Amino acid sequence: MVVVGAGFSGLAAALALARAGAQVRVLEARDRVGGRVLTGWLDDGTQLDLGAQWIGPTQDRMYALVSAYGVDTFPSAAYGAGYVRRPGGRSTEPPPGAEELFAALDSLGAAVDPAEPWRAAGAPRWDRMCLTDWLERTAVDPESARYAGRLLAGGLLAASPDEISVLQTVFYLRAGGGSRSLLGMAGGAQQDRLVGGPGALAERMAAALPEGSVTCSAPVRAIEQDRAGVLVHTDRERVAGDAVVVALPPALAGRIRYTPALPALRDGLTQRAPMGSAFKVHAVYPEPFWRADGLSGVGTAVVGPVTETVDNGTPDSERGVLTAFCYGDEARELRGMSAAARRDALLDALAAVVGRRARRPDELIEYDWSADPYTRGCFCGALTPGSWTRYGPFLRRPVGRIHWAGTETATRWAGYLEGAVRAGERAAAEVTGAGHRANQPSQR
């Protein structure tokens, strides 16, 4: 069996296939495993999670892997009061009516089966309506609509609310257990971090595969299939197998050349799931000065380029790390600026919520996932308005010997590490259940 991509989904698929007795080859484009996770280290050893970082309750497969591979976790820093940056300044409360908007969307989601969101009674209407329209019609005031749009479209999908449909929003809410679960720190998706970052876990997962299973620096360019099996082409080799699990976001899976060509609707799906647009920037200070002022550093914003911040310090480091997240239009605007102008805009936004000392970080560290050829955006891909009802059924449907994994195909915790693992394990079960002959992968 062949697996394309050594992110969490590809690794989980490969481990499950290996457990089922298959011989597996994993072909990974980058020179490392892990995909959308990357750990940076400051010179004093402080850990910075440049990609994914959190896990939280009900992400059972991730906690099981953390435990099985002996990776320690620690809780996200939480020391003082949170804030909401609103037009008049810093507040402790979100705009009135915002919680009701989250609750209303959660209750729409209750009617959606995340395995088949296109079948919900309201699906046609929700799919053609963008989140902005729904919020403007439903909200009691424009500020709460703007706040909810920034948190739901931005904080969850790194998009602007006019880029995603109501159906995409409620699917995602449902898959992650609702807005409280998705947006929460303790008790929610942002509860725990991994010592060494999720990359440390990915490396252990890869090491648990039989030696030689994973080949890095091997971007897959083409996949051929016929009645005998599949032939997966990299620049250096052709790997044969009975079946292939493509563990990539749809937008990247669409860049592989398939012979025979993919069915038109599957190909169409890959053209309608763009990656989000986010900036995750770490401002590093000698110490977390905001804590002395009784501030947690954790907050959200209705105005400005930064939608969310967190105190991203680690228990073993004295350095203060304030991490800023910018999404959708704000991220695109920042991307268009010079590095100096972007730095000013980001530091002004941080100063507005934790005070003037924020303007003088030791370092400001960003990793641009949108410019990375093997991710091309973050956090994940999301279907454009109108696409769930037209193309959704082709998200997971295998094409002959090609099976689709990747977090975007998950029915639980889609878009998250947990979704990636579940999708990989589901694809592996599909492959073994499909009765493809257990040929050894071999080089041709």
Ligand X SMILES: Cc1cc2nc3c(=O)[nH]c(=O)nc-3n(C[C@H](O)[C@H](O)[C@H](O)COP(=O)(O)OP(=O)(O)OC[C@H]3O[C@@H](n4cnc5c(N)ncnc54)[C@H](O)[C@@H]3O)c2cc1C
Interface ranges with ligand X (CB under 6 A): 4-10, 27-30, 35-37, 51-54, 219-220, 247-249, 252, 256, 280, 369, 374-375, 378-380, 406-407, 415-418, 420
Please identify, using beta-carbon distances, which residue of 241 and 415 lies nearer to ligand X: 415
Quick one: tokens of 358?
């924020």
Run of H or E residues at 65: helix 60-68
Q: Which candidate, 118, 73, 148, 169, places its Cα nearest to that of 414?
A: 169
* Minimal distance, residue 189 CB to ligand X, in Å: 7
DSSP state of 371: G
Residue 310 and residue 190 in contact, taking contact as beta carbons nearer than 8 Å: yes
Please identify, using beta-carbon distances, which residue of 52 and 269 lies nearer to ligand X: 52
Residue 145 and residue 135 in contact, taking contact as beta carbons nearer than 8 Å: yes
Please identify, using beta-carbon distances, which residue of 30 and 403 lies nearer to ligand X: 30
Q: Which residue has the tokens 């003082």?
A: 80
Run of H or E residues at 114: none
Q: Give residue 52's identity as a one-letter amino acid code.
A: A
Please identify, using beta-carbon distances, which residue of 6 and 145 lies nearer to ligand X: 6
* Minimal distance, residue 327 CB to ligand X, in Å: 11
Please identify, using beta-carbon distances, which residue of 28 and 127 lies nearer to ligand X: 28
Spell out a b/e string for 166-204, using b for 16 or more CB atoms within 10 Å of the CB, else e: bbbbbbbbbbbbbbbbbbbbeebbbbbbbebbbbbbbbb
Measured N-to-C along each axis, helices 131-138 and 142-149 cross at an angle, to the nearest 10 degrees, of 150
Neighbours of 341 (CB within 10 A): 11
Residue 3 and residue 17 in contact, taking contact as beta carbons nearer than 8 Å: yes
Please identify, using beta-carbon distances, which residue of 101 and 214 lies nearer to ligand X: 214
Distance CA 430, CA 17 (A): 10
Please identify, using beta-carbon distances, which residue of 10 and 361 lies nearer to ligand X: 10
Distance CA 288, CA 207 (A): 36
Give the bridge partners for 224, in sequence order. 231, 259
* Minimal distance, residue 81 CB to ligand X, in Å: 23
Hey, what's the torsion of the CAs at 409, 414, 418, 423, to 10 degrees? -10
**Exposed, middle or buried by CB within 10 Å (0-12, 13-18, 19+), for 274?**
middle
Q: Spell out the alpha helix ranges (H) of 321-376.
A: 328-335, 339-354
Please identify, using beta-carbon distances, which residue of 135 and 164 lies nearer to ligand X: 164
Please identify, using beta-carbon distances, which residue of 111 and 364 lies nearer to ligand X: 364
Residue 2 and residue 241 in contact, taking contact as beta carbons nearer than 8 Å: yes
Distance CA 360, CA 345 (A): 13
For 179-243, give the secondary structure using H, E and C.
Answer: HHHHHCCCCCCCCEEECCCHHHHHHHHHHCCCCCCEECCCCCCEEEEECCEEEEECCCCEEEECC
* Minimal distance, residue 430 CB to ligand X, in Å: 16
**Cα-Cα end-to-end distance for the chain:** 14
Q: Spell out the alpha helix ranges (H) of 3-153.
A: 8-19, 60-68, 98-109, 123-128, 131-138, 142-149
Please identify, using beta-carbon distances, which residue of 123 and 214 lies nearer to ligand X: 214
